Amino acid sequence: MPRLAANLSLLFTELDYLDRFEAAAKAGFKGVECQFPYAWPAALQAERLTRLGLAQVLINLPAGDWAAGERGIACLPDRVGEFREGVAQGIDYARTLGCGRLHCLAGIAPDGVAPETIHTTYLDNLRFAADQIGRAGLTLLIEPINTFDIPGYHLNRSHQAEAVLDAVGADNLMIQYDIYHAQRSEGELANTIARLLPRIGHMQLADTPGRHEPGSGEINYGFLFDFIDRCGYSGWIGCEYLPAGDTLTGLAWRTRYPCVS
């Protein structure tokens, strides 16, 4: 049975970040994920996880200047040193938080640089990150992201992610399959999930249009949750959506889908 994790970067945002852990636990979540934990001491977050009985299931590696519009630096040839420093920081945080998965955002392809150079940089950085993260006993994830939300993002289709895994050749590199991004980019959700299942290390959800709660848009989550369960996926599914209103009120959607916990 797939397990739901609250994404603390998008849910409970009416609260200060460190207070969102308790809100997630009170709402019945057993796991949490976040985009970037680095603005808060890892030890403070670890204390909340332990006290509340929560698992930190995912964090992102540092991804450049998010406020300025950067969406990862792994494909940027002039940022390799910064990327490697971010890998070390991500590993330190993951160890303190007891988190087994780190997602690497590819980044937006820069203008004026040959596509071959961009992709070679991306693959080389992933090889480095997979090696370092593997030495720590952790899993590295890559996620195709739709180019409606992030124009120019370097990785946007599942077949591209498969090719990257093949090219890097690291046992601990897997796909983070985001149902929302996949629906916007390519659809064909059920068959793609079934085909990719051995290579999926984490999943995330939101509905479309709007990136709101399941049941608010066009995706048939009743069918899809049951299908994922029947496929044998028992990992975490991160609730990385924008609540249409109050977070707690919006969480009523969970009661409609008995095959997730």
Residues labelled as active-site residues:
143, 240
| Mean pLDDT, residues 125-141 | 98
pLDDT bucket at 220, cuts 50 / 70 / 90: very high
Q: What is the mean pLDDT of residues 172-192?
A: 98
Residue 156 domain-assigned (yes or no): yes
Distance between CA atoms of residues 182 and 178, nearest Å = 6
Q: Provide the percentage of residues in the chain whose pLDDT is more than 90.
A: 97
If you average pLDDT over residues 109-131, what whole number do you get? Answer: 98
Instruction: State the pLDDT at residue 100.
Output: 98
User: Does residue 1 register a pLDDT over 80?
Assistant: no
Residue 214 sits in a domain whose CATH number is 3.20.20.150
pLDDT band at residue 258 using 50, 70 and 90 as cut-offs: confident
Q: Is the pTM of this model over 0.85?
A: yes
**Assigned domain for 151 exists:** yes
Q: Domain range holding 117?
A: 3-256
Distance CA 130, CA 239 (A): 25
Question: In Å, what is the CA distance from 123 to each residue of 142, 159, 166?
Answer: 11, 15, 10
For 67, what's the count of Cα atoms within 13 Å in the CB-facing half-sphere?
Answer: 0
Q: Share the mean pLDDT of the chain.
A: 97
Q: Residues 38, 93: contact at Cβ < 8 Å?
A: yes
Would you mind telling me the total number of residues written for the chain in this entry? 261
* pLDDT beyond 80 at 259: no
**Helices 115-135 and 80-97 meet at what angle, rounded to 10?**
30
Residue 230 included in any domain: yes
- For the segment 12-22, the average pLDDT, to the nearest whole number, is 98
pLDDT at 35 over 80: yes
Is the model's pLDDT at 2 over the cut of 90? no
> Does residue 20 belong to any structural domain of this protein?
yes
Residue whose C-alpha is closest to residue 261's, from 14, 97, 27: 27
**What local confidence, expressed as pLDDT, does residue 173 receive?**
98
**Is the residue at 197 inside a domain?**
yes
| CA gap 129, 149 in Å, rounded | 26
Q: Per the domain annotation, does 261 fall within a domain?
A: no
Is residue 21 within a helix (H) or strand (E), and if so which, with residue range? helix 20-26
Tally the domains of the chain. Answer: 1
Q: What angle do CA 94, 95, 101 make, to 5 degrees?
A: 40
In-domain check, residue 170: yes
- The reported pLDDT for the residue numbered 260 is 79
DSSP 101-155: EEE----BPPTTS-HHHHHHHHHHHHHHHHHHHHHTT-EEEE----TTTSTTBS-
Phi and psi torsions of 221, nearest 5°: -70, -25
